[in-house]
Amino acid sequence: MSEFIKVSGEIVDEEALNKALNFGIEQVRTKIGSKFSEVISGVEVQVGNNITESGGETDEKQKIIKIDTKKSSMSLRDVEDLLVPQGYYDTGNLTELVPSIADQAYSYSSYNIVHELGHIVGGKLPVELSPTRYGRRATNEAFAEAFTYWVYNKPIDPEAETIIRDKL
């Protein structure tokens, strides 16, 4: 695991989870370059079963990200199939983000760590600029969703990109 990831509890496939988390972390590192160290400075990622109701949550002030391993073991396609009918996402919002891994177990972790690091960056974005329905729930979620799309080189509103770059 990366130096700032702490594991609590048993993980069914630690190698797959580690690979997925590192994939997402490397996407952030590549996208933001020299600012990466500043963004992750002091961040602690806690990974374990049932440590959060959702797949992940972030305490921005404490710089703690919690990743639930059971939920994060799902593929992006499985999560999308679950959340589209509930109105959180449109078809393709997750699977087209990183199509090369969309069907892999734990690929949701690759999305989730980037989204949660977006919360660590800590920006707010007008909800209408969010690329997803989920992000239209709150300004901090709009920022995290736009940040995730930006990291994965998917189109976002130019104003959203400016806000992200300014926050970094």
HSE of 52, CA atoms in CB hemisphere, 13 A: 20
Q: Crossing angle for the helix pair 14-32 and 107-121, nearest 10 degrees? A: 40
CATH number for the domain formed by residue range(s) 5-167: 3.40.390
Give ∠ CA 27-3-9 in degrees, rounded to 5: 100
Tens of pLDDT, residues 13-54 = 778 888 999 999 999 999 999 999 998 888 999 888 888 888
Strands (E) in 69-142, as ranges, are: none
C-alpha span between 127 and 35 (Å, rounded): 25
Beta-bridge mates of residue 65: 45, 58
Strands (E) in the chain, as ranges, are: 5-8, 44-48, 56-59, 64-68
Structural domain spans, the chain: 5-167
**What tens-digit pLDDT sequence spans the chain (168 residues)?**
466 666 655 566 778 888 999 999 999 999 999 999 998 888 999 888 888 888 899 999 999 999 998 888 999 999 999 999 999 999 999 999 999 999 999 999 999 999 999 999 998 999 999 999 999 999 999 999 999 999 999 999 999 999 999 999
What pTM did the predictor assign? 0.93
